[in-house]
Amino acid sequence: MYMQNHKQVMVDSLWKLNVADIEATLSHVCQMVLQDGSAKREELRARAKGLKTLGKIFQRVKLNPSEGEASQVKNIDKMDDNDGSSPDSSPKREPQFTPNPPHAPSPYVEAPRFNGTYCSFNFPMPTAPPGAQRDPMP
């Protein structure tokens, strides 16, 4: 009975924890991939290009959540990988200026509190899902 009554709270908690874990893992992987001292410069450049392509795909899905997965797969092949961001590339056309939105912190994590005050350390802490009660910190 308890599980049935609190199912949504538990699902929300697990979802937010999962998102925070994925964000932390992606950040760590990107740092490792792009700052590998044993890799040659060309390999690092290829890795960066691959990460950039993945980022574009995720941003398109994020901005167009109503589109189906099939249309996203079709768009991957049409992407222009040569956008002039690499010194070795020569763009075929002038890239359009699209300002990046300012980096917003994830709505799924918050800074931890110690002794009633928030700390600004660089590690995520999952937030409580809607409807969940927080345990007071000692």
Spell out a b/e string for 114-137, using b for 16 or more CB atoms within 10 Å of the CB, else e.
Answer: eeeeeeeeeebebbebeeeeeeee
Average pLDDT value for residue range 36-43: 89
- pTM here is 0.39
Provide the pLDDT for residue 124: 54
* 104 to 27, 46, 107: CA distances (angstroms): 15, 27, 8
Domain boundaries, the chain: 2-90
Which range, of 9-18, 41-50, 126-135, averages the lowest pLDDT?
Answer: 126-135
Residue 10 has pLDDT above 50, yes or no: yes
How far, in Å, CA of 6 to CA of 86, rounded? 51
Please count the other Cβ atoms lying within 10 Å of the Cβ belonging to residue 34. Answer: 13
Joined tokens for residue 21: 């874990």
Provide the pLDDT for residue 96: 46
Provide the pLDDT for residue 39: 87
Please count the other Cβ atoms lying within 10 Å of the Cβ belonging to residue 96. Answer: 6
16 against 74, higher pLDDT: 16
Question: What does the pLDDT look like over 68-126, one tens digit per residue?
Answer: 555 545 555 555 555 555 555 444 444 444 444 444 555 555 555 556 665 555 555 56
Provide the pLDDT for residue 86: 52
Residue 67 has pLDDT above 60, yes or no: no
